[in-house]
Chain A
Amino acid sequence: MSTHAETHTHEDDHGHHHKETFVTKYIFSQDHKMIAKQYLITGLIMGIIGILMSLLMRMQIAWPEEPNIIFKALLGKWADGGVMDADIYLALVTIHGTIMVFFVLTAGLSGTFSNLLIPLQIGARDMASGFLNMISFWLFFLSSVLMVCSFFVEAGPAAAGWTIYPPLSALPMAQGGSGAGMTLWLVSMAIFIASSLLGSLNYVVTVINLRTKGMSMTRLPLTIWAFFITAVIGVISFPVLLSAALLLIMDRSFGTSFFLSDIFIQGEVLHYQGGSPVLFEHLFWFLGHPEVYIVLLPALGITSEVIATNARKPIFGYRAMVASIIAIAFLSTIVWGHHMFISGMNPFLGSVFTFTTLLIAIPSAVKAFNYITTLWKGNLQMNPAMLFSIGLVSTFITGGLTGIILGDSALDINVHDTYFVVAHFHLVMGISALYGLFAGVYHWFPKMFGRMLNKNLGYVHFWVTAVCAYGVFFPMHFIGMAGLPRRYYTNSNFPLFDDTQDVQVLITVFALVGGLVQLVFLYNFVHSMFYGKKTEQNPWRSNTLEWTAPIEHMHGNWPGKIPHVHRWAYDYSKPGYDDDFVPQNIPLKQGEEELQH
């Protein structure tokens, strides 16, 4: 990223006529657009695996006693006679969580769209370092492979929950999955973190240094603001998880006692002394909570862009939107203790974390209200991306509101680790971020592949998914409030919960339908990639710079000069223009004022 390279590539395109082979173009590519596609496709494959696991879990919970030939077919020795093994259930819980949070909604979402959009929307030829970017993807790919491989080790994959609290995760004798499976999990995550850090550093540097002329920070589209702040949180918090993982590896393999003390298991006392599992919880959640926003903020950024474009209206309260992203990012690093109210930490800390946690509701509320106001008196173009964005706002509100209960330490006592928590976080970060991912794919598919996705299939995909998402997670709050703990392999040992079983069955039916309808999306994706209708240059009539680049991908993004920017990204339906959009590279007319935003 020398100054020479910058001045060289920034203004003129000297015709990047490198010779490209299949390998440099499709595999070890350093082009951000190709890397984005690699991230997306890897993320989707991991998503299929993750969703499939959740369906297996749901079937087990709904029909625990009955032998199931699907289990037998897919789980092999882990489902002897078609009855799922208790260990593999916990492994599914663990790997489903890990894959969805990190591999799909962090790498698949942020990796795809940060890579695709940061250079294109700020007017840069590529990322600051294409080489690091390539390394970042391949590390991610390697960690994905390792994570999936853990299903093929003798004693099964990691099964201590995605939070891998020691001592359960540290002691192979505590659980089958804490042997080689856990080693693979830790190595995979360490590599994943390295990938994520390389990616995040690249995004931060690119946004700060490579903006085109006129693209001041206050003119950045909200997508870029979201990706930028997300990368900053990632750089701050991921190293802490790395340290936790390394210390855990030390405890597991080298006899240290960072997290372990006074343990008697299987008839013998272990040598560990002086460590504390609570320390691990602190380290884990110092990443774990910001991670929620690493997942969510890019989805909100995408939603901001998609809603403004399709409402043909400026996003309402641009400054407030930026301020709330920054406020959420800041607060996200000081709320981790709300996962630990009843961990045994000092109750006074609980009070502090209740306070900071409930504060985060304020910027979140501002964002929700601003989205709603953006719709008001708009001219709403109901493209599939727009539907997913509206759906996101809906689930973000429904899921976010129950955060008021979970963030309140006094109430958390009784709903902690019940299905209520499962319902809450799946709606507010799982489904919302997934909708963000879908909105992004529907919106930028033309930019990525030069072809359009079929909109009618998009409508079917959205509406069935939307109904199923509520069908799965809304009733789940009620069984959670009944006191039903999560991560139970079966509830049949507790007659107390027999009256929740019909709800479990209903949830599973919704989950199965919701899972199957994703095939419609997959079909649409694969089919349209090759046979979709060819796109126009700017199909959604959008203002941002990526749509000024030619449809055919080229190294350096724009032939000739990079466009200059003269206005913010949200001049939709501006009075004084015939068209209802004014791209950022159109100079202000004489006497036209750029909106004071």
Chain B
Amino acid sequence: MTALLTILILLGITIAIWQMVKIFDLTQTNRDASQVANDKDNSINGYLMLGFLGFIYLITIISFALWGDLPLVSNSASEHGPEIDRLMIISMAVIFVVQTITQFLLHYFAYKYKGEKGKKALFYADNDKLEFIWTIIPVIVLAGLIMYGLFTWNDIMIIDEEEDPLVIELYAQQFNWKARYAGQDNVLGEANVRLINLDNANILGLDESDPNAQDDIITTELHLPVGRPILFKMRSQDVLHSAYMPHFRAQMNCVPGMITQFAFTPTITTEDMRLNPEIYDKVSNINKIRNEKSIKLQAKGEEPLDRYEFDYLLLCNKICGKSHYNMQMKIIVETEDNYNDWLKEQRLFKNSLVQN
């Protein structure tokens, strides 16, 4: 019944708009029947173009003022992060300048040269010099950005095995993450989904006879030692997922049937990041928002929201099914000592198997 009513109401709104437009239409048509823009239209719309330029600038300023702290261009927590942030800021600056100038020219010309009866436009069809200029300027700017971008990209993607990175597997499945540490030998045991055996809790399909697999450690939380290069090997058991760690400026797809990889060095522990003034402010602001929401929820007799505490996160960023929106894993960056202590508490693969 409510469904029918809603449809009727929507229909009513549509008809109302339709009728209002019709009335508007009827009052207009008689005055100027030609429906081709006349001088008055040109003038009004010319001024509106100028106004629209103002609107574009205004929305730019408002966006930066209100939401300028949202973009992840500072406080990156990985070694390569500041490099990406710098390139991002340079690119944004280039975009900002070009956007400001071209939008000005476009809308200002639209205002300035608004048509008048009897006026004639300038017959001006070509100018090789001008066109050369605005071909060559983008070429130079882009060449610079491409070079910078490619150097940064190679820095990030070419993994230096000699740095002795800590090898960790990120394992994706609908709809959660697991991490597998390589253990003392720092070599991950062979694995394939065909070896998965739920009966003895071999959930990631490790080769039980592989010596390298015996000391592997499977966890549901990702702990990383600060300052040590980490090499992530990604696997997925069912569909595509994407391991997205925004604070580390890191992302790589997890593809069934192949192993993908991404490496970075975390530079700031979770503890230190929580004390960072900008992050602290952000968290307080979020908690303010959550408090307001909690009050509303409590008024309705529902549970209030938990307090938010900052944590690094691993999110799934490739559409993977129904609960894609809630596929996450907590990342904890800590000192080498704390990390080792934590690792010692975890069960080795060989001990985690259930003996039948």
Contact = CB atoms under 8 A, between A and B. Distances in A.
A383 B121 contact: no
A361 interface: yes
Interface in B16-75: 17-18, 21-22, 24-25, 28-29, 33-37, 41-42, 44-46, 48-49, 52, 55-56, 59-60, 63, 67-68, 70-73
B21 A457 contact: yes
Interface residues of B, number: 136
B328 A494 contact: yes
Given A168-B239, A382-B114, A533-B35, A454 B28 contact: yes
A414 interface: yes
A175 B146 CA distance: 40
Interface in A357-405: 358-359, 361-362, 365-366, 368-373, 375-383, 386-387, 390, 393-394, 397-398, 401-402, 404-405
Given A73-B3, A382-B41, A475 B88 contact: no
Contacts of A416: 242, 251, 317
B142 A414 contact: no
B165 interface: no
B57 to A, nearest CB: 11
Interface in B95-138: 95, 98-99, 102-103, 105-107, 109-110, 113-116, 119-127, 130-131, 134-135, 138
B323 A86 contact: yes
A317 B125 CA distance: 6
Given A87-B322, A471-B59, A481-B71, A313 B98 contact: no
Interface stretch (B179-187, B192-200, B207-215, B270-278): B192-200
B33 A533 contact: yes
Interface string A52-76: 0000000000000000011011101
A48 to B, nearest CB: 11
A562 interface: no
A13 interface: no
A591 interface: no
B194 A394 contact: no
Interface stretch (A33-41, A159-167, A187-195): A159-167
B251 A413 contact: yes
A592 interface: no
Contact of B59 (A315, A373, A456, A474): A474
A127 interface: no
B84 A411 contact: yes
B238 A174 contact: yes
A69 B18 contact: no
Nearest to B15: A519
Interface stretch (B221-229, B285-293, B338-346, B348-356): B285-293
B87 interface: yes
A342 B242 contact: yes
A463 B55 CA distance: 11
B114 A343 contact: no
A318 B149 contact: no
Residue from A413, A457, A477 whose CB has the most chain B CB atoms within 10 Å = A413
A519 B258 CA distance: 49
A213 interface: no
B91 interface: yes
A471 B252 CA distance: 32
B35 A263 contact: no
Nearest to B18: A523
Contact of B313 (A73, A76, A414, A494): A494
A575 B125 CA distance: 12
A408 B91 contact: yes
Contacts of B135: 362, 365-366
A144 B6 CA distance: 27
Interface bracket on A: 35 or more
Given A262-B193, A313-B122, A361 B103 contact: no
A166 B258 CA distance: 14
Interface string A470-485: 1100110111011101
Given A265-B238, A362-B138, A478-B70, A379 B121 contact: yes
B142 A359 contact: yes
B352 to A, nearest CB: 18
Nearest to A578: B120
Contacts of B240: 165, 167-168, 277
Interface stretch (A16-24, A228-236, A328-336, A495-503): A495-503
Contacts of A463: 48, 52
20 contacts: A90-B321, A265-B174, A274-B257, A277-B257, A354-B146, A358-B145, A369-B102, A379-B116, A379-B120, A382-B37, A383-B37, A394-B56, A408-B91, A410-B153, A475-B63, A478-B68, A485-B315, A494-B315, A573-B122, A595-B125
Interface of B: 2-7, 10, 14, 17-18, 21-22, 24-25, 28-29, 33-37, 41-42, 44-46, 48-49, 52, 55-56, 59-60, 63, 67-68, 70-73, 83-84, 87-88, 91-92, 94-95, 98-99, 102-103, 105-107, 109-110, 113-116, 119-127, 130-131, 134-135, 138-139, 142, 145-146, 149-150, 152-154, 156-158, 173-174, 192-194, 196, 198, 205, 234, 237-240, 242, 244, 246-247, 249-253, 255-258, 260, 282, 285-286, 289-290, 305-306, 308, 313, 315-326, 328
Given A379-B119, A413-B84, A466-B52, 4 more contacts: A70-B10, A413-B249, A417-B242, A523-B18
Interface of A: 69-70, 72-74, 76, 86-87, 90, 93, 160-161, 165-168, 171, 174-176, 260-265, 267, 269, 273-278, 311-320, 342-344, 347, 350-351, 354-355, 358-359, 361-362, 365-366, 368-373, 375-383, 386-387, 390, 393-394, 397-398, 401-402, 404-405, 408-411, 413-414, 416-418, 452-457, 459-460, 463, 466-467, 470-471, 474-475, 477-479, 481-483, 485, 487-491, 493-496, 498-501, 503, 516, 519-520, 523-524, 527, 532-533, 539-540, 570, 572-575, 580, 595-597
Considering the complex of A and B, which 6 residue pairs feature the smallest CB-CB distances, nearest first? A261-B257, A483-B246, A481-B71, A347-B157, A73-B6, A344-B260
